[in-house]
Structure 1
Amino acid sequence: MAFGRTSLGSSAGGGGRAMGAGAQRPLSDINVTPLVDVMLVLLVIFIITAPLMASSIKLDLPQTDAGQPNDAPKFVSLSVDASGKVFLNDQAVTDEELATRLEKAAADNKDTEVQLRADQTVPYGKVVALMGIANKAGLSRIGFVTEAEPPKKPGS
């Protein structure tokens, strides 16, 4: 009788390795599709509910003269050209007229702002004198209006 020889190598029936011949390798990438789906659903919910949250409580508030809505801040425009001529709200005025009109503006509203525009050739003393007139009239909020420099070109 002849004995047949058998091979002891890898057998198709399983054996020594945990991963068989048909097994897939584990994925190293995370599937973000479900995350994106959930985020889009939440975005739609927030877009729909945000306007409702702003005015969800309806109230019938009492009316009074004391609770006036805030008016836009009031200001007067004070300009000085290169020749030293003074303009208040684009109308030429003398120093006496300027003082009178600024006092009236201060009487109307103490928080009135003076927006001072002066040509760059106007002497500093003239600008300081106008600031003094405004301050004496009762207006202490003075803003200096300037122009932005044009952007420099690269390589200049």
Structure 2
Amino acid sequence: MSMSVGERDDNEPMMDMNTTPLIDVMLVLLIMFIITIPVQTHAVKIDLPVPTDSQSNVDPEKNKVMIDRAGTITWNGTPVDLAQLAQYLEQTKALPVEPELQVQPDPYARYIVVDNVMAVIKRSGVGKLGFVGNEQYARVF
């Protein structure tokens, strides 16, 4: 809507420019530019672990073999038998850098079980072997 201000005859042609089509064209162009601008994303690059198909209990840094007083052998907290222990030790040998193997027998564990575990470890050819928890033997004997 417009309002006429000032003196003007009705027969005289209107000298003002009609800006409605110009504004419509400008709005359409503005919307077209907004649509064609790519969405700006802020990404942070992180290295996620790669999932593997096999459920392996082999840690690439260190692994722990424990023998409790009942004779149960555990590999990183998971009970295993001697055959599984041998498989896990072979998997550690296949890694590019051999992880450290820590052996922690219970002071009251049977000698024969500890001896069998040590025989499996020796046959596997582990290079980095250490006994942990030796302080638990201080007050046993």
TM-score scaled by length of structure 1: 0.44
TM-score (norm: length of structure 2): 0.48
Could you say which structure has the greater relative contact order, defined with CA pairs below 8 angstroms and 6 or more residues apart?
2
